[in-house]
Copies of this chain bind each other. A is one copy, B any other.
Amino acid sequence: MRFDPPEASLILADVRRALAEDLGPGDATADLLPAEAMAQAYVITREAAVLCGQDWFEACFRELDADMAITWHATDGDRLDAGQTFVEMCGSARALVSAERCALNFVQTLSATATVTAAHAAAVAGTRTRILDTRKTLPGLRIAQKYAVRCGGGSNHRIGLFDAMLIKENHIAAAGSLTAAVRAARAYHPQLLLEVEVENFAELDEALAAGVDRVMLDEFSDADLGRAVAQVAGRAEIEVSGGVDFSRLKNIAASGVDFISVGALTKHVRAIDLSMRVKLNPK
């Protein structure tokens, strides 16, 4: 199982921004540790979680000590038990202490998304339905969070406004009709997936006739979802959106839709409780 982390340069930019916030002109207390002191450290999780953020974690320490030795006992996407030690480090004591908070902040935040995604994915396991993320993300962390969704077993919706088209009511109003909007969109961007948000069966019919790639069903009841799947009959992918509650996931998946998109994966965060212990080497 692989989850293809973002390009290294994007991760490094995230890490440098975080270190700049925390270290600014320098760690005032690192001065208390000798420049040449070495230390060992390890991190445990105090609660069960799906791990995510290895590359960010490593980059935080490597920015301050390029030679830091880091040994992982788990890989992004792995389930961790409460109390499990999942990474050990050995290197400059100052680097360990100065980068600790930033490194943990990344892992506790991204593992939170991976963990909640895994719960959603488990709820629809065994069906054709897959869990998608949305553009409701933490500002500045979208690419990282989308990776976390993959680590949790979810799939990514578009990254942003540029790599797929979702036609909504305002676009339709501006174009004059749903059909006109679809035609214009195809002409502008023939290479992009084209999805239309529909609110009723008449719009669904018009979208299918216009030849869209995917329809987003907005606030359809469970019963209507079944009817919509039958009506679409494989002519387009079906995505369900609109404030989906966790408890409804199973029912929606049972209707046979392709995707359920869930804002909660990335807009809410319940940081995983991690703890890092540092032990200075005796001189």
Q: Contact check: which of B98, B263, B268 meets A161 at CB < 8 Å?
A: B98
Interface size on A, residues (CB 8 A): 95
Cβ contact within 8 Å between A31 and B4: yes
Main secondary structure of the interface of A (DSSP, over half): mixed
Task: Produce 1/0 per residue, A153-180, CB < 8 A to B.
Answer: 0011111111111110011011100000
Cβ contact within 8 Å between B174 and A28: no
For A162, the chain B residues whose CB sits under 8 A away are: 23-28, 159, 163
For A174, the chain B residues whose CB sits under 8 A away are: 32-34, 37, 93, 280
Stretch with Cβ within 8 A of B (4 or more), from A136-144, A201-209, A219-227: A136-144
Question: Is A278 an interface residue when CB atoms closer than 8 A count as contact?
Answer: yes
Q: How far is the CA of A181 from the CA of B34 in the complex (A)?
A: 12
Most buried by B among A132, A143, A164: A164
Question: Is A247 an interface residue when CB atoms closer than 8 A count as contact?
Answer: no
Tell me the chain A residues, 66-119 only, with Cβ under 8 Å from chain B.
93, 97-98, 101-102, 104-106, 108-109
For A171, the chain B residues whose CB sits under 8 A away are: 29, 32-33, 97
Question: Is A190 an interface residue when CB atoms closer than 8 A count as contact?
Answer: yes
Question: Is A271 an interface residue when CB atoms closer than 8 A count as contact?
Answer: yes
For A137, the chain B residues whose CB sits under 8 A away are: 21, 105
* Across the A-B interface, the 6 shortest Cβ-Cβ residue pairs: A27-B161, A267-B271, A140-B140, A18-B139, A163-B163, A22-B160
Chain A residues engaging chain B, CB cutoff 8 angstroms: 2, 4, 6-10, 14-19, 21-35, 37, 39, 56, 63-64, 93, 97-98, 101-102, 104-106, 108-109, 130, 132, 135-143, 146, 155-167, 170-171, 173-175, 181, 184-185, 187-193, 213, 237, 258-259, 263, 267-271, 278, 280
5 further A-B contacts with Cβ under 8 Å, apart from A130-B190, A170-B278, are A22-B142, A25-B159, A32-B174, A164-B191, A192-B193
